[in-house]
Every structure is written in structure tokens, then in C-alpha cells.
Amino acid sequence: MPPLREIVVLDDHVMFSHGLEKVLNHALPATHVSICTTYEELETYVRHHHPDVALLDIQLKNIRYNGFDACRLLQHTQPQCIRIICSMHSPGLYSTEAAERGAHAYVCKSEDPEELLNFLQHDNTAYKMKFCVLGEVKDRYDDFKEDKRFDLLTHREREIFCLMGQQMSLPSIARFLHISYNTAKTHRAHIMQKLEAHTLEALYALALRH
């Protein structure tokens, strides 16, 4: 494929975004890498630039918008751009939403950077690509797709379930998502019902597996 001219990263975790910038600059010295930390910054950026690739985190500190909103924005304004969700969460719960919002690929931040670099250097174009998951989590993602119960979860319920998988307590989840404890508790009850988990122990065990 033609050399990548420009990559934009949307991530408000400064250490990660600048670390990723160094990796990309080293592996792709002819490519300019830009960092945006908010949806609004990305919105301004795309008015003046035409990135070949966008790496988008899901959760941003500004809870009004997230990486999926950014993906949809790029799909409409920069259809030539390859849109990759780059998240700390395993792809199972978010993969369907990522594909629906116009993402071309999903990669976990814990993956070897070579997985991402190999993908970027492959002969693909945004118009022809099918959604895919990169790296070692792909097998887990393939297994996850078979369980249709997870399709019933809303975006907020998926967020809470993923954070439970990181062994966060419900009060901590509520603070992290800027919602009340009672709201988080209600979401958890809905998750238990939809996933047919009859005890908290069963729900946490399920979250840890995904």
C-alpha cells in the first residue's frame, strides 16, 4: 500500500499516547503522528487534516463523547481513514459496537506493538476492509461471538461489566464513570438478569473470563 502520511491518535492517557507516538515514529519515520486528547480536539483536527489511520481509545475523560463517537465522526468526514479502536478492554463486549460505529479493527493496548504495525503495513484500504480483531485476543473474541447474551447489554452495561472484569468494586466503578452508586447497582442488576448470572460470584467469574 502507499506509505502512510498521517496517523492521528485519540487518547487522554498521556503516557500511553506519547509512548505509542514514539513506537510509530520509529517504525514509520515518514509518517506524521498527531495526538488528540479530546473529541473536540479531533473534531478540529479533521477540519484541516486527512489522516490515513486513526487510533481511538473508547473511554475519554469527557463522558459526553467516546471513541465510538469519534469513529462515527471519521466515517462521515474522512471515509478514506482506517479507523482502529485501541482500548484496554478485551474486544468481546465492544466488538459489535465497534463494527457498527464504523471501525475497521480492534486492538488491545496490552498487545505487542508489532501486531498493530504489521496491520498498518498490510495492503488494505478503508473501503475494502472487513472488521477484524488483532493479536492474541482474537481466539477469545471468536469464542465470545458465539454467546448472543452479550448482545443484549447496553453500552453503559458493557462498560460496567468490563470494569468488573478488572476487579473494580461497584463504588469504584461508579466514581470512574461519574454515576451514582445506586445507578451502578441498577445497571449491575440488569447485567445479571441479561447474562443469567444468579449470584455476584457468578457474574464476576464471567467478567474475569471476558
148-209: CATH, from 1.20.120.430, 1.10.10.10, 1.10.240.10, 3.30.70.20: 1.10.10.10
Spatial CA neighbour of 61 closest among 155, 178, 182: 178
Domain boundaries, the chain: 6-142, 148-209
6-142: CATH, from 3.40.1160.10, 1.20.1740.10, 3.40.50.2300, 3.30.1490.20: 3.40.50.2300
Q: Is the pLDDT score of 135 beyond 80?
A: no
Q: Is the pLDDT score of 116 beyond 80?
A: yes
φ, ψ (nearest 5 deg) of residue 86:
-125, 100
Q: How far is CA 105 from the centre of its chain?
A: 9
Q: Work out the percent of the chain whose per-residue pLDDT is above 70.
A: 87
What Å distances lie between residue 154 and 18, 78, 93, CA to CA? 32, 27, 10
Amino acid at 181: Y
What does the mean pLDDT of the chain come to? 85
Q: How many residues does the chain have?
A: 210
pLDDT in tens, 186-204: 999 999 999 888 898 888 8
Neighbours of 86 (CB within 10 A): 24
Task: Indicate the pLDDT class of residue 141, thresholds 50, 70 and 90.
Answer: very low
The whole-model pTM stands at 0.72
SS3 53: strand
Q: What is the mean pLDDT of residues 150-166?
A: 83
Continuous H helices in 78-154? 95-100, 113-120, 138-145
pLDDT in tens, 28-77: 998 999 999 999 999 999 999 999 999 999 888 776 888 999 999 999 99
Helix (H) or strand (E) holding 76: helix 67-77
**What pLDDT shows up at residue 167?**
81
Q: How far is CA 106 from the centre of its chain?
A: 6
